[in-house]
Amino acid sequence: GNSVTQMEGPVTLSEEAFLTINCTYTATGYPSLFWYVQYPGEGLQLLLKATKADDKGSNKGFEATYRKETTSFHLEKGSVQVSDSAVYFCALTNPIQGAQKLVFGQGTRLTINP
Amino acid sequence: NAGVTQTPKFRVLKTGQSMTLLCAQDMNHEYMYWYRQDPGMGLRLIHYSVGEGTTAKGEVPDGYNVSRLKKQNFLLGLESAAPSQTSVYFCASRGGWETQYFGPGTRLLVL
């Protein structure tokens, strides 16, 4: 079946540090990959996505590259800010299954200290 | 354009009570979804709908029922609440190949 595994949290960094949150997936065929962000007390928002191998999604300084050979979609940001403190979810959809159902990782809580 | 809204925001139930969570979207989306979010487990799909009048089971459907009588609304029902259903519930909608848009969530506590 389809599954997503994220690095264990919580992650605590200082402002302007480099961020990497690891994400690997298991899926048949050619899934689409997503990163969602959840700010405190809010619903999930799409941060970025990639729909085919070697695609790079980017938004708000965050980037992730779809690596089919390593089945990974790691999230990176060169210089984090306090406002980036949130929970980050890696997810996939698999066209084989239809209905574009999202399969989520367990989430990684990120805290940025000033 | 309010996007996806959920009612209520917070509810406390006693074991065995029933309730309905309402999700509404104003984007004319065909697809709607109900998820639950539990600590350390991400979001898990409860039920979903691919259009008005249709529903289907997701990953964790037991103890829940849903209805999609109108395209803009997707209702999630708990007939006899159990403490294991304490969770945060999120609704989402999607049109075509677009992104899923999430509501703000409903926090449910079952005592």
What is the per-residue pLDDT across B35-62, written as a single tens digit (0 to 9) for each? Answer: 999 987 889 999 999 999 999 999 999 9
Classify burial at B105, counting beta carbons within 10 Å of its beta carbon; exposed 0-12, middle 13-18, buried 19 or more. buried
Contact flag B33-A101 (C-beta cutoff 8 Å): yes
CA distance B73 to B67: 8
Angstrom distances, CA of residue B106 to CA of B14, B43, B97 = 16, 13, 26
Selecting from B41, B92, B102 the residue whose C-beta is nearest the C-beta of A106 gives B41
- With cut-offs at 50, 70 and 90, classify the pLDDT of residue A99: low
Angstrom distances, CA of residue B51 to CA of A61, B30, B63 = 36, 5, 22
Long-range contacts of B66-69 (CB under 8 A, 24+ apart): B66/B34, B68/B32
Contact residues, chain B, for A23 at CB < 8 Å: none
Kindly state whether B100 is in contact with chain A, defined as any CB-CB distance less than 8 angstroms: yes
Strand order in the sheet with A56-59: A19-21, A75-77, A62-65, A56-59
Q: Pull the structure tokens for residue B90.
A: 């999120």
Q: How many CB atoms lie within 10 A of CB A79?
A: 11
A-chain residue closest to B99, CA distance = A46
Between B42 and A34, residue with greater pLDDT: A34
Contact flag B45-A101 (C-beta cutoff 8 Å): yes
Q: Does pLDDT of A66 surpass 80?
A: yes
Q: Does pLDDT of A101 surpass 70?
A: yes
A-chain residue closest to B5, CA distance = A43
B-chain residue closest to A89, CA distance = B42
pLDDT of residue A95: 74
Kindly state whether A69 is in contact with chain B, defined as any CB-CB distance less than 8 angstroms: no
Kindly state whether B86 is in contact with chain A, defined as any CB-CB distance less than 8 angstroms: no
Lowest mean pLDDT among A6-10, A82-86, A92-96, B104-108: A92-96
Contact flag A46-B100 (C-beta cutoff 8 Å): yes
